[in-house]
Chains A and B, each alone.
Chain A
Amino acid sequence: MARTEKKKDVVLVGFGWTGAIMGIELANEGLEVLALERGHDQATVPDFQYPNMIDELKYGIRYGMMEKPANTTVTIRRSLDEEALPYRSLGTFLLGTGVGGAGTHWNGLNWRPMQSEYRLKSYVTEKFGADVMTEDMTIQDYPMTYEELEPHFDRFEKVAGISGTAGNINGKIVEGGNPFEAPRSDEYPMPAMPSTWDGVKFRDAAKAAGYHPFPSPGGIASKDYKNEYNMQMGPCNHCGFCERYGCYNYSKSSPQTAIIDALKRKKNFEYRVNSEVLRVEKAADGKTVTGVTYFDHKTGEEVFQPADLVILTAFALNNVHLMLVSGIGQPYDPNTNEGVVGRNYAYQITGGYTLFFKDENFNPFIGTGANGFCIDDFGIDNIDFAKEGFVGGAYWRAGQTNGQPGHTMPLPAGTPSWGAGWKKGIGEWYGHAMNIGAHGSVMSYRGHYLDLDPTYKDRHGRPMLRMTYNWHPNEIRQTQFMKQKMEPVAKSMNPTTLQEGFKKEGAMFDVRPYQTTHNTGGTVTGDDPKTSVLNRYLQSWDCHNLFVMGANTFPQNTQYNPTGMVGGLAYWAVNAIRKDYLPNPRPLV
């Protein structure tokens, strides 16, 4: 029997980065705000404390910080004619849970997409002709410009505490930074982190090849820091336990370091953990929502939480799932290419070279999630799509993130994977290997989408989210292009031996090895309700008092790690809610 809780002005579904941003900004407006978090509560101490956190087996191998697939998962298939099966064993992407969400266990890499990415379809069409897009490609423009978003990127970077070197300040190219980045109004709030030796080696090789290396921008504090909410970070000690771990050192940017303690001081803010939202409730006329129903794991009952404003602030896949199970917006149908919810799902494509040096010692115990140097010479803005025959780009990075023996011990191909030969290989090569990675964009396609699984149900009896995704020839061409460009750079570094790991023609999406957790699309933002779920303010076209945050709003996947964009969009949207929506609640477009 469902109980009903006292009505709130705002209910937030999920208490990670976007939930925390919405929470503090709307609580500052004086609204009664409630965040519902599926998982547990967690704080730096005691939940991430030293040395308990740096337990590779518990967190790095057994994914102690992640949502267990037994509780929540998706089903996956690679084409319309396959039967989707549940993703039962974590591999290709890792979904977090608990307060802070994925913002606690990320690597910290923080980017703004390149300038062409905000109007990608127009850019491609104008510059190279519509023909360069494959027939099934469904990319589209963002409904807002980079110039409109810039102040919000800047704000997020300052709230999150990002270290980096600016390369373009108001159009002026700054030596040492990324000359290809979109113009920024200000420096990064903290100077770039120092790099380990592998990053420096790559920097020098890239420079010698005529490219433009710059330090990786990341939410890892290079000094002590205080943001606009007076929240604090301390300088990182390069322990190499970022991704898959919570930071014990107050050094990695997270909702915990950037927002939560400031938000907890507000009497008009409340959060409830172990409260899993099952659906958003629509009003009888379907034009607004009335609140959410959640499952209270403490009491084991369903709870109706009425609210004037509902904001989905969960992970991308969960936001899309909630829209589908709540029946808000027309689900996408790839056969007719009609409908919008679930449309334009995209993943990312990665590849790289591993270089082995007999005489180099990289001290892999030193690292951060955003370590090293990058180049953007093969970013989306810098590639002639007509000439190269694909749409997309990648940034490259070299910089060890960790030297954890359980999952980060690269060995030359042919080394036995167990026994004496393996031991010998480890003895010979541990600490002598480095990696250059290409982190590539993925376009949207008619056949890549999310919907409700016809067979499998979750523990609450809801149909699971079904993902239909495979590598597209466009991305294979892109990643093979990166290989071709990277090979001479890697060879110029004179490794004892090297090996490549790029996807080849015919490669099928394999969910077993970790790739990235950057899932995008499904409830994309756009100008046209026929091809988007959300308007330019991330407001539902169907129900005006429902807003949806997250990477699920991206029309196609960028070449970058999405957090910077997710944070920037959240500040953009909440600015519109505060200034435009609250005084007069209505469809903003």
Chain B
Amino acid sequence: MKKLIRVLGTLVVLGIIALLAFIFVPVQRTGPVTQLAADFKPAEGQGEYVMRAGDCMACHTNEGGKPFAGGRAIQSPMGTIWTTNITPDKETGIGNWSLADFRAALYDGVTPNGTHLYPAMPYENYRKMSEEDIVALYDYFMHQVEPVSNKVEETRLAFPFNMRFGLRAWNWLAASYPAGFKPVQGADEQFNRGKYLVEGAGHCAACHSPRNLFMAQDGIDDTSKAFLSGGEIDGYTAPDLRGPDSGPQKWTTEQTAAYLATARNAHSSATGEMMLVVRDSLQYLTHEDNMAIAAYLKKIGTAPANASAAAAKPEITETEKLLTDAKPDMPLGPRLYLDNCAACHIVNGKGAGETFPELDGNSLVTAKSPKGLISVILHGAELPSTADRPMKLRMQGYDNRLSDEEVATLATFLREGWHNKAPSVSAAEVKAVRNLAAH
């Protein structure tokens, strides 16, 4: 009995020691994956380019705020995360950070004092970045970004998520793979460049991969089947990028690259979060890099069956017939479509070129979550002005014209029209999205 108590006591003590060690022993920080020459200096503009590729601005700049001064609220399932000031201000920013500190934040998700960052910061992906890019990015933030004194609100999640040390265990699961990027031997340069951008700085998987049980990205590279197979962000669907019905697989490489660079192509246009990614990040990449991303995505996906045959034979769908006949007794869904949508998106649901996106086969229309579609119907959408396509094409919202029931009926019609097969939408779902905009 005594022995048992002693053993148990020892275990408890060991446990406490382990727990204390877990909490207090500093995390091992990952060093450089490549030893750069002592006189290495990033090429002019490289740091800014990496910043664009990594889309640092999107999260670390508040709406209407100074660049990189933080303070933007990121809604997570655990609560609101406030982004930090990453300008070189010594008091409130990262002005005192060394290169090793900076690298550790990107690779390990830890700040210089050992605090764990919440993985809203996609260090799971940034961990793949090359030492050259890390140094260039560090150089950019230290020397080219204007220091801004801006003390941002501290992130205070509810228990147990306020126990940041817990992330140490999460990191064992999510971000323990060797840092740095391993090109695929034998693959061409374009493939590897695309892979590097997608898996690393571009952190596409942060939205486009599903999350596993532990809320980690389900696969951080293309060896995982779930990688980029579609995810969810704030209740909106981030579409699959690899399946035969996905954009990058249906479209030509040039069309995907155009989508990335201009938020539009001959089929579709970017809305919501993806529109912001194009606005703040992808439009600044070179054509070669966007082509590399598009080519890589195509290579790791499943090509649609008989794609060319379908394209060659335009068929008249039942939906198109229904809309063209426009019989007085047609149901409300097609009637609403004719009255509000057909002028641009056309009765065949194919829209027009790069100006009016097609709705037949559109991933936003058929998304698992109808939230994005409802939001566009209610509030419209605007494309960003980009170098290649400067026009801020804007679809108006219909929130003051259509009731919740009507939007639900219309959305259901779209999700079942032409070749689309997606579940119906309820008025309650519309109401929920409408109420979101109220605050």
Q: A residues touching B (Cβ–Cβ < 8 Å)?
A: 43-46, 49-51, 223-226, 229-235, 237, 239, 248-250, 257, 261-262, 264-265
B390 touches A250 (CB 8 A): no
- A364 → chain B closest CB, angstroms: 18
A495–B385 Cα gap in the complex (Å)? 52
B354 touches A265 (CB 8 A): no
10 nearest A-B residue pairs (beta carbon): A224-B353, A234-B355, A262-B390, A45-B394, A237-B343, A224-B352, A49-B396, A261-B391, A224-B355, A45-B396
- Please tell me which one of the listed residues B343, B354, B396 contacts residue A239 in the complex, with CB atoms under 8 A apart: B343
Given known A223-B352, A232-B354, A234-B352, contact A249–B392 (CB-CB < 8 A):
no
- B390 → chain A closest CB, angstroms: 4
A271–B390 Cα gap in the complex (Å)? 17
A50–B340 Cα gap in the complex (Å)? 8
Given known A46-B396, A232-B355, contact A261–B380 (CB-CB < 8 A):
no
Q: B residues touching A (Cβ–Cβ < 8 Å)?
A: 340, 342-344, 352-356, 380, 382, 385, 387-396, 401
Residues of B with C-beta under 8 A to A232: 353-355, 389, 391, 393
Given known A234-B344, A261-B385, contact A44–B352 (CB-CB < 8 A):
no
Given known A224-B355, A224-B356, A249-B343, contact A230–B389 (CB-CB < 8 A):
yes
- Please tell me which one of the listed residues A231, A248, A249 contacts residue B391 in the complex, with CB atoms under 8 A apart: A231
Given known A45-B396, A226-B354, A232-B354, contact A261–B343 (CB-CB < 8 A):
no
A22–B437 Cα gap in the complex (Å)? 40
A264 touches B385 (CB 8 A): yes
- B323 → chain A closest CB, angstroms: 13
Chain B contact residues: over half helix, strand or loop, or mixed? loop
Chain A contact residues: over half helix, strand or loop, or mixed? loop
A249 touches B390 (CB 8 A): no
Q: List 22 A-B contacts (CB under 8 A).
A: A43-B394, A45-B395, A50-B343, A51-B401, A223-B353, A224-B353, A224-B355, A226-B389, A230-B388, A231-B390, A231-B391, A232-B353, A232-B354, A232-B389, A235-B352, A237-B344, A249-B343, A261-B390, A261-B391, A261-B392, A264-B385, A265-B385
- A284 → chain B closest CB, angstroms: 42
- B266 → chain A closest CB, angstroms: 9
Residues of B with C-beta under 8 A to A229: 390
Residues of A with C-beta under 8 A to B353: 223-226, 232, 234
Chain A residue with the shortest CB-CB distance to B262 = A230
- B264 → chain A closest CB, angstroms: 8
Residues of A with C-beta under 8 A to B356: 224, 234
B391 touches A45 (CB 8 A): no
Chain A residue with the shortest CB-CB distance to B356 = A234
A44 touches B344 (CB 8 A): no
Residues of B with C-beta under 8 A to A249: 343-344
A89–B423 Cα gap in the complex (Å)? 56
A452–B344 Cα gap in the complex (Å)? 48
B355 touches A250 (CB 8 A): yes
Highest count of chain A CB atoms <10 Å: which of B343, B354, B356, B387: B343
A261–B148 Cα gap in the complex (Å)? 31
A131–B380 Cα gap in the complex (Å)? 64
Highest count of chain B CB atoms <10 Å: which of A49, A50, A234, A265: A234
A233 touches B355 (CB 8 A): yes
Chain A residue with the shortest CB-CB distance to B345 = A234
Chain B residue with the shortest CB-CB distance to A229 = B390
Chain B residue with the shortest CB-CB distance to A259 = B390
Chain B residue with the shortest CB-CB distance to A263 = B390
B344 touches A45 (CB 8 A): no
- B346 → chain A closest CB, angstroms: 8
